[in-house]
A and B are shown apart, each in its own frame.
Chain A
């Protein structure tokens, strides 16, 4: 067996694969946060809860109604997106003119509520969700074994990430969004319904989180607290990438997943902290993040 830096190649590539997959989740989640922050200037502390809702909805819909994975892949994000828009309409809109800090505190409270209620109903031990049959098994690449589902997660996440980036940076709708946040009054003067645009953006951002949740359902343990574990890591990813930078969020997400995987191979005790260490270093050298503009 070939060795790389004293570690068997198979172990290294296995950890790298896990790293890339985690990175795909970080990318999807930080992308949603970046969209919401970049366009609405809201730090969405409820993002982890939305990710969790996506995963929970997938499991619950399957158990109660027999709705399969492929349908859930579309239905769960839409449902969560509607929940997000309701939250935006009834709560976030009321504090629109206030200090941004209040949006952070408000979404934090909402996350506590959602998470707490679901914990009471479903407990914290985790729900079981079986993988669709298509994805059982995998392919041997010679140097490592690649399960089909993991490959699917990477592809799906990358496609959605790229699609979102394209939509916001390159299309007409995206330019409306960006303009609406620059000067909402002027946009309203041009006859564009800015409040609706804001609602839709928030809904879309949390849809991305829910989509990540559906992808996570077959491979991670689905519990009401799954979101709060990953949320803080994703915050760090967003800080490293540069707040509000859409492309930065995607690249940094995958990069951080890989770094985490490598750390797990070479020095396991530091693996959960390494992203925060990277963050400290980045902040010292480039306070506005790797891809952020100087604030």
Chain B
């Protein structure tokens, strides 16, 4: 009461601090963007696109796991559904432009996500994980039995086609910038969602669901929407992946894929925006490097070991640990 001047000073200081933080963030993001734009001239574009697709998949998963606290063990179903739908449409209807195929794949995955959400949302924690796992397995068996997926052989020779009927996507550079644009768009969307009032409610559900309920939030509706958005983005990742590789296979539907996206998110840092991107980059690189060397048969056990190590020793993941380190030593 006696020192109103001081208080505004403090407020001013906080604002100033926030501004400088924002500036820092903007700079970091700018540098990252430049790196991503230049990357295909240094590295093989298809490999980069693989990373981007998995990064989007992990970002989608993280919206649900990291921010809402729901562990889905069935996200492979959305990745595969997006991929198969897009692949089927682009292969059989030559009149479709690529982006229409991708949008259709995303929509089908979104609807599937809604179905999953309605069935599983009443359970929590590990129950939820097991229900989503079993539902995804149902989807897996559907794809195994269906003729159009090509069964064990997978769906080959999906045409990349032309974006908007104009831009030739057979060119790897064009394809890369398209994938990058979609990825950045989705990343910003998730960033927007997380920082919106809606995102705050999601976080509160994660921290204390009972309290969120007692505050009058219809928790189930919030969770269902988060699940559907997450499934949509995962489906979009699968759709793009099938176009990039011109291939959709059962691997994408297998529950190991659901496990892998958990690993990516966990290693990178769950509940952080950049974490899943870092994690996906890390895991895809580890898999690639191992498959080139003498340890090519040891990919699975090594990934398992990384899993164990992450859960035991650094649960906040790469990004989380770096943030902690920065806060402790530089903040």
Interface residues in chain A, defined as those with a beta carbon under 8 Å from any beta carbon in chain B: 43, 91, 94-95, 98-102, 104-106, 108-117, 119-120, 232, 235-236, 238-239, 243, 269, 272-273, 276-277, 279-280, 283-284, 287, 295
Cross-interface CB contact of B131 among A94, A106, A119, A239, cutoff 8 Å: A239
How many angstroms from the CA of A43 to the CA of B315 in the assembled complex?
18
Instruction: Give the B interface residue count (CB, 8 A).
Output: 42
Which 10 A-B residue pairings sit nearest by Cβ, starting from the closest? A109-B307, A112-B304, A116-B301, A116-B300, A113-B304, A273-B141, A109-B308, A276-B138, A236-B134, A106-B311
User: By DSSP majority rule, is chain A's interface helix, strand, loop, or mixed?
Assistant: helix
- Number of A-B contacts defined by CB within 8 Å: 119
CB proximity to A under 8 Å, residues B255-275 = 255, 259, 262, 266
> In the complex, which residues of chain B have a beta carbon less than 8 angstroms from the beta carbon of A269?
145
A239 near B304 with CB under 8 A, answer no
How many angstroms from the CA of A159 to the CA of B306 in the assembled complex?
40
Q: A232-B133, A272-B141 are in contact. Are A120 and B298 (CB under 8 A)?
A: yes
A276 near B141 with CB under 8 A, answer yes
User: Is B122's beta carbon under 8 Å from chain A?
Assistant: yes
Q: A95-B311, A113-B301, A116-B304 are in contact. Are A104 and B126 (CB under 8 A)?
A: yes
Smallest distance from the beta carbon of A185 to chain B beta carbons, Å?
22
How many angstroms from the CA of A106 to the CA of B263 in the assembled complex?
11
A104 near B71 with CB under 8 A, answer yes
User: Is B125's beta carbon under 8 Å from chain A?
Assistant: yes
Residue of B nearest to A237 (CB): B134
User: Is B297's beta carbon under 8 Å from chain A?
Assistant: yes
> In the complex, which residues of chain B have a beta carbon less than 8 angstroms from the beta carbon of A91?
308, 312
Q: A106-B312, A273-B138, A276-B138 are in contact. Are A235 and B303 (CB under 8 A)?
A: no
A113 near B308 with CB under 8 A, answer yes
Cross-interface CB contact of B311 among A105, A113, A119, cutoff 8 Å: A105
> In the complex, which residues of chain B have a beta carbon less than 8 angstroms from the beta carbon of A295?
123-124, 127
Smallest distance from the beta carbon of B200 to chain A beta carbons, Å?
21
> In the complex, which residues of chain A have a beta carbon less than 8 angstroms from the beta carbon of B127?
239, 243, 295
> In the complex, which residues of chain B have a beta carbon less than 8 angstroms from the beta carbon of A111?
304
Residue of A nearest to B115 (CB): A280
> In the complex, which residues of chain A have a beta carbon less than 8 angstroms from the beta carbon of B266?
105
Smallest distance from the beta carbon of A253 to chain B beta carbons, Å?
15
